[in-house]
Structure 1
Amino acid sequence: MAKTFTDEDDALLAELGVEVETKPAAARTAREERIIAGFEEIQRFVDNHGRAPRHGEEGDIFERLYAVRLDRLREQADCRQLCLPLDHQGLFDAGSANLAGIEEDLDDDALLAELGVEANMPAITDLRHVRSSAERKAAEDIANREACADFATFEPLFEQVQRDLDNGMRETRPFELKAEIEPGRFFIVGGQKAYVAEKGELTLTDQGRTDARLRVIFDNGTESNMLMRSLQRALNKDDAGRRITDPVAGPLFSGEAATDDQASGTIYVLRSKSDHPMVAANRDLVHKIGVTSNDVQQRIKGARLQTTFLMADVELVATYKLYNISRSKLETLIHRIFGAVRLDVQIQDRFGRPVVPEEWFMVPFFVIDEAVEKIKDGTITRYVYDPQKASLVERGAG
Structure 2
Amino acid sequence: MADFTDEDDALLSELGVEVGSKKTSSRTPQEERIIAGFEDIQCFVEEHGRIPQHGEDRDIFERLYAVRLDRIKALPECRSVVAPLDHQGLLGDPVTATATGEDEELDDDALLAALGVEAECPGITELRHVRPAAEKQAAEEVANRTRCEDFATFKPLFEQVQKDLDEGIRETRPFELKAEIAPGRFFIVGGQKAYVAEMGEIEITAQGRTDARLRVIFDNGTESNMLMRSLQRALNKDEAGRRITEPVAGPLFADRPEDGDEASGTIYVLRSKSDHPMVAQHREVIHKIGVTNMSVKQRIAGARLQPTFLMADVELVATYELFNINRTKLENLIHRIFEPARCDIEIRDRFGRPVVPKEWFMVPLFVIDEAVKRIKDRSITDYRYDPSSARLISIRGSTSQ
Q: TM-score, normalised by structure 1?
A: 0.46
Q: What is the TM-score of this pair, normalised by structure 2?
A: 0.46
Bigger radius of gyration, 1 or 2? Answer: 1
